[in-house]
Chains A and B, each alone.
Chain A
């Protein structure tokens, strides 16, 4: 190694060849270049020319320079120059590389590895031996230990195989391992400590002893990331209709931002929240507003852009749709429309919760979050015992009053009831039906406004008691409690003092009822049930980068009731735990998160005084210049070859002209190909979408139609070209069989020219597929699209519409379909109601709200970027099938309608 300024040479003896360059100069000067050949008819006149001018032809100076430069580069390149070489670890003796490979190292792992590798490279050049000491326990469950001393090349391979772990580094264990290493190798060692800068001990300082021990053993270099916080994502807080996420970080001088992404099981981000940290702040909070249906799909939260196990939270059942059990006194009449006990409950809860029906005992056999009993007494015996035990374990029991309860109150009530009920209003009473008082702060219903038309005519009354006030969550205007609640064990019992049907009050008829029940279900502690000691095996575990993978060999099962208190460790890596092979595995697995048991991150103590500090990532890595110099030399030699060929006349100027022409052609090919004449649309059959002006929506439309065209081309004989975006009234629509029109909530009413163009398009057999993107499971995604649809179709000649009948050609044209899902399933699709012989009975408009384009969309890599809701490959396939049917319908009209009549035709033929 010989260093000159920022460049060092690994094979400096080769530089001896540099003084030989003038020799090359001289050689090139004396030997003339090969003559170029020239055919010449008048050669007779050139023969026997007297040697009048004997000046030999010289190689031109610039060619000489080129060759000399190429030779010099060759020599320099072979001498293996290194730009800004790492200045070793100092001292002599072996090098010990200590690496913090806990959760905090994952975000900038590459930079850490570059820093450590540079040190190992420097050691390799100096011929030192290297040992490695990772401070986090390996995933095999073995204790923290240093490797033996080994050659640097081998250490480099070991270093490359090192991965961050999903748990915290154990510096005390590392200190012990260091002591063991020192006993084996007592001589002086130099060490590099690639530290993550976080104090992992819950209290005290574990970093300083380790650093001090290293400094004592020899020169110590501490490499740390600067200006980069370690971030931690604790468990989020589930509120009624949002998730509140909190991010903890080590304090940072400047304000910073972090983003938390909510992802579905297949890894797609469906929501994000941005958290802003003030300067010096260690904590920030933000809410992910998600409709409950969407929230149920979220299985993990990630801090973006930093990956890492501590920035990932897996969400299991406790954050999901809650299973709610419903039980009535008489199952037979419970569902009677408008009068049944459970009729209103079922409708209020089914959009937000998973409804289960049956007797309380049957319901409690499975895990349940909330049990609602509508005027059902609880007989003494096993049922009451089971219910009591369940509530005490954390279940939420919601009861509705009724004539039976008024007769025989039982102990599973939050308050003591007076016998009989109180009637308000009616023929024999002076009192008037009571309205609701505003909800008090501190109750779960705070913030809801009771509508004035909600009145209570009859209720059960509670015995006055000192605790009645605090147990009342809702009251009537006269102060009598309407909803009371009391904790029981870890659970809670809630009583509505009215019936669950409209007999005693019209509360179940109001929207308030839905909101109240949602709040109560959200309040429940989650899934409760007998988990017991059953071991949950690790199904998938997170690695240090926060990626899910198969369980490691050392991972051991956890008893179901101890998942909460288990901290992540090599034996219990964070991830999913459950019973393999269980049918409802996906629904019942439990998540173990690394961040649940980590203390808030705080900065580690500064390195000891004698240590050299180094920033990772900031230092430009050393660079081997050899290959570049050699490549440049080759380039120069190639240029020299070209020049020689030209000089000998083997490559003439016409080649140059051709080259320029080819380059020009290449340069012009791009723009030339992009220019398409106005008639280009007529050359091939293609789908088209109406350009809305919203770039994102237009891109989805384009990708969707491109994906559909691709699918149709693969599956059918139709050959569709790339889809076009069109503006009605400006572009000629007559080339397109089908227009896809995503109706935006803010879509303006089309002007006269647009409406005229669209009407002409429909009149001449075109089909417009209007998509409001808010149907079925996508309800509420695009509020206002319905109104926009009415607005944009005001001037269009839309025929009377009807839901797609079962035997419509749209469901028969290519595939036999039951329903027509897109990105959203369910909901209704509308087509023309009347048959119009003039147009082959083809409906000129198809109106739906399933966001079909998003379901069909394919990105550049052929993947579907938009998740289907509720999801599944089946829904995607069905969406494509609908697309194929739609294209067939647009291309062939009712030709396939005959298929519908096949049975009748066969019958007529006598078969």
Chain B
């Protein structure tokens, strides 16, 4: 009986190690995948809060049509 318990605890230990390893591998993959993709980060000099057709700009276009 006690021998069975020991065997079970060893299995549990191995299962825990395996699950932990898989979880850490998944975490590493999840961490690396977004870095590989181009992400629009704040402060990226190419992405600006620039042009938007404001009332001021629409008024300019209207006057340029004259």
| Chains A and B bind each other | no
